[in-house]
Structure 1
């Protein structure tokens, strides 16, 4: 297990599994509620004044760090993401920690890069967290788990630790009888955290060939020990609530899943209620806002990064931070002072939680854009079985969204765009998986606010999956321009669609769409 030492700059790494501890005091744990009363007035001539109503309440919802905008690098393409990740791994000095839904079972080059780094540096430690359902789906045939287990064999459990999180929502007869392709709908480890030493990439991308070549996502590299160490703490917390992957020559699959007695909670497959009971205060402490010290000067920086965690299935009551942050931002944007602002919202699988749809359409902003995948850029396009119905389901949801816009007479304020670059599974065809939010304040050219992370912003994201991300609030002109460029290049292959487009024969959905809609409600948006 990889554990952090007394200081952020020097990592103390030891072979035994250590139970992670929170950096946050119990006194800092409190459930956030939206403030009542009128919104604070803002100074329309000051960028800081326009941002103040956002950040004043955000500090009560989520922990944050002040950094320089120059510490955030925005990566544009899947290939650049892959090359950046490999480059960081090759030069890693102390730790590599990767949290993803899954690593593609054929990702030999990525594994070879990791192996080379471990061989070159005996002090380097590796930790990987994936989802148990997705990571073992193909077993005993080759799977994510069988790909990773040999790393433990070669480098030892003192240097390599592989964990797989299993939802407490799928146990007993339900787990036994529900098909593997569908059972993931009961909850997944969905955080995408790619940390190397004191840098981390936040993304929505998984670690497989399509995400490295022709599946467009978003990727932000944070060169900040504070941001990286925060997510390292959260990562360790989920690790201590996950199964340990052990090599097993006597098993047909080549591995076994073991629940260490040192874990924070009991086995979720055996004692799911107690698992959640133990996990609730533990995770709550990790994601609650940190008390600000009254002594000394406040950290300097032109950019504040708020740490977002949506881990609803682990907490009763749920004190996750992403949905409250989104809610606060959009409610604040509805104030008359923000007339003239604009937002861009994107989700590859267009199925936003109803509360978010209402909030987006209730803002005072103008010239707003929603970007989603065209059916021809949907990862489920022409896939086998019932999942092939999913593009039709998302088509219906998009059409309903346009109808809502029309009913509210907001046709001139909101544009829906579909992203398409060729056709899935054809030469040159790409899929679209990006998600996020950008907000540009009145009288400004580029966004000052953006959200990056793993969440698909669906009802499921806010109830079943483990999500992590960050809210960026910046006054740095360079970072604002980079955020503006990002939202522009994501629209290079996006075209507006109208209700008339959905009325065309090829866009009509058949009777099977009801089945597809049910699939979306259960498993949609999980990739």
Structure 2
């Protein structure tokens, strides 16, 4: 009853705010203050491929399924969460009520009271399973080794010690260590800075057969005033099974934590990520093979299901009679391991976009790779509205030491991209927007895709990648491509991006003439050297 009540409150809140946001969107469409096309305006456009049917929408993006597994879910069971506080409450409710599995992948777990309360909810699920003799209940938690170990007396690891001690047969904690941090580099690069070499950036929050895909980590600011994205897929067993297997696979390539906070390799056949005799090649080969095997077997399952059901191109969660109106494609990017599915699919999406298509793209740390930038500028025909953080809402704003200069570096990168827009004469087709919300930080990433003549998006990307160098080349990343014809879900997605863009301002040349847009020469020089690390 408590869970149903919480969801009713959440849906009531969303419905109330949706009307206000819709009024804002209508106002924006009819009242442009900049004199340029508004990225939220989606009036009917003449097009050679106006899509109005389910078959057209699914076929148009169906090529994604040739490269990655596909799962079919009911759009009515998908909930777009819009606020950090809602995200936190859903996490606690789902954790407390879990009866078969809890699988979590995050960069780290914070050490404050909110995080303690979340761990208490996981403990409650373990205790409930023990009371009823449910030995099948399992908790798998994957964190990054360097970020999860940060802290002398209190850390992500110490937060989980009691769970491991009290439920040794139920709880498993893994810490992934990048094979690129080794030797002299590992010895000389200090804490915090060693995280720039590479880490696991996966964000998966799975409870029984429901899963939340997000870009948010598990710490107090992500539960209060750090804006991110969060999409909940309720009762989607096949999708949940995939992510459960993905997290377990990476976990088996990681260190296993014991209740006394010591670490050990997963088994005798494990290859040490940074102490083996080569340069990490053996570890990378083994890791790549295991991840590829998972993807291959998952795709084969999809194809087998397609053979059994000629009318569908993907796996089903339940019977095929009605309601399955949403296709979900996991996109994996693990650059250090040579797995580049997400990058390849994203590039193809940009390249295949036709005139009249519109892509709204957000990045909490705007630092497009040269490949992405060149394709958007020179090969793609779609309109773009790119949302990025203002310096004041950058997560590093006000940080001590060198980290405090990072927002300035992002201003410089944004300025260089804006100059490219001017150089190529693309300032009308590609527009940049700067997000600001007082006393908040911005960690949003992903995209929303509009087909010509459509007032609602047909596709979204949701997950951990920022479209930058780190996401493509250094970290382990995962996001979902969600293609849907479900009106309620499409309205939620539209509401989501409208609320984000309404807190932004169009970027013009005047921005970089302001005092906070000025970048010192030393910062420009340093950015050129370090941009590949963030």
The TM-score, its normalising length taken from structure 2, stands at 0.83
TM-aligned CA deviation for residue 260 of structure 1: 3.0
1:168 partnered with 2:209: no
My pick for the range that moved more, 297-306 or 287-296, is 287-296
1:233 partnered with 2:245: yes
SS in 2 for 1:461: helix
TM-aligned CA deviation for residue 452 of structure 1: 0.3
Q: 1:136 aligns with which of 119, 130, 149?
A: 149
TM-aligned CA deviation for residue 313 of structure 1: 1.5
TM-aligned CA deviation for residue 43 of structure 1: 4.2
Match of 1:242 in 2: 254
Q: 1:76 aligns with which of 73, 77, 82?
A: 82
Write the distance in 2 (CA, Å) between the matches of 1:412 and 1:43. 23
Match of 1:312 in 2: 335
Match of 2:25 in 1: none
Write the distance in 1 (CA, Å) between the matches of 2:494 and 2:228. 16
Q: 2:406 aligns with which of 361, 374, 390?
A: 390
Q: 1:461 aligns with which of 471, 474, 481?
A: 471
1:95 partnered with 2:106: no
Cα 1:120/1:54, change in 2 over 3 Å = same
Encode CA deviations 1:295-353: one digit per residue, 9 max, x unaligned: 42135422111111111222xxx2331111101111110xxxx3222110000111011
TM-aligned CA deviation for residue 121 of structure 1: 2.4
TM-aligned CA deviation for residue 52 of structure 1: 5.6
Match of 1:420 in 2: 436
Q: Which runs of 5+ in 2 are unaligned?
A: 1-46
Match of 2:273 in 1: 268
Cα 1:339/1:518, change in 2 over 3 Å = closer
The 5 Å alignment of 1:104-115 reads 104-106=110-112, 107-115=115-123
Match of 2:299 in 1: 290
CA contact (8 A) 1:105 1:142 kept: yes
CA contact (8 A) 2:111 2:159 kept: yes
Q: Which runs of 5+ in 1 are unaligned?
A: 1-40, 249-254, 423-428
Q: 2:446 aligns with which of 436, 439, 443?
A: 436
CA contact (8 A) 1:218 1:434 kept: yes
Match of 2:342 in 1: 322
Write the distance in 1 (CA, Å) between the matches of 2:519 and 2:51. 49
Q: 1:193 aligns with which of 199, 204, 207?
A: 204
Write the distance in 1 (CA, Å) between the matches of 2:50 and 2:121. 51
Q: 1:86 aligns with which of 92, 101, 108?
A: 92
Cα 1:519/1:407, change in 2 over 3 Å = closer
Write the distance in 2 (CA, Å) between the matches of 1:68 and 1:516. 48
Q: 1:376 aligns with which of 388, 392, 408?
A: 392
TM-aligned CA deviation for residue 520 of structure 1: 4.8
User: Which structure features the higher share of helix residues?
Assistant: 2
1:151 partnered with 2:163: yes
Match of 1:352 in 2: 368
Write the distance in 1 (CA, Å) between the matches of 2:118 and 2:525. 37
Write the distance in 2 (CA, Å) between the matches of 1:132 and 1:149. 15
The 5 Å alignment of 1:204-243 reads 204-223=215-234, 224-243=236-255
Write the distance in 2 (CA, Å) between the matches of 1:514 and 1:402. 15
CA contact (8 A) 1:243 1:258 kept: yes
CA contact (8 A) 1:451 1:469 kept: yes
CA contact (8 A) 2:72 2:326 kept: yes
Encode CA deviations 1:447-499: one digit per residue, 9 max, x unaligned: 10110001111122111100111001112222211111111011121111211
CA contact (8 A) 1:245 1:256 kept: yes
Cα 1:135/1:518, change in 2 over 3 Å = farther
Write the distance in 2 (CA, Å) between the matches of 1:474 and 1:231. 20
CA contact (8 A) 2:464 2:478 kept: yes
CA contact (8 A) 1:184 1:523 kept: no
CA contact (8 A) 1:392 1:509 kept: yes
CA contact (8 A) 1:452 1:471 kept: yes
My pick for the range that moved more, 96-105 or 502-511, is 502-511
Match of 2:50 in 1: 44
Match of 1:258 in 2: 264
CA contact (8 A) 1:390 1:519 kept: no
Cα 1:441/1:75, change in 2 over 3 Å = same
Write the distance in 2 (CA, Å) between the matches of 1:51 and 1:394. 36
Encode CA deviations 1:245-301: one digit per residue, 9 max, x unaligned: 1122xxxxxx111113256x3111222222112222111122346131264213542
Match of 1:32 in 2: none
CA contact (8 A) 1:393 1:520 kept: no
CA contact (8 A) 2:332 2:339 kept: no
Encode CA deviations 1:370-409: one digit per residue, 9 max, x unaligned: 1111100011111001011100010011111111111121
CA contact (8 A) 2:253 2:266 kept: no
Write the distance in 2 (CA, Å) between the matches of 1:332 and 1:346. 19
SS in 2 for 1:247: coil
Write the distance in 2 (CA, Å) between the matches of 1:260 and 1:355. 37
RMSD: 1.9
Cα 1:52/1:455, change in 2 over 3 Å = same
My pick for the range that moved more, 510-519 or 499-508, is 510-519
CA contact (8 A) 2:390 2:436 kept: yes
Q: 1:512 aligns with which of 484, 506, 522?
A: 522
TM-aligned CA deviation for residue 183 of structure 1: 1.0
Match of 1:4 in 2: none
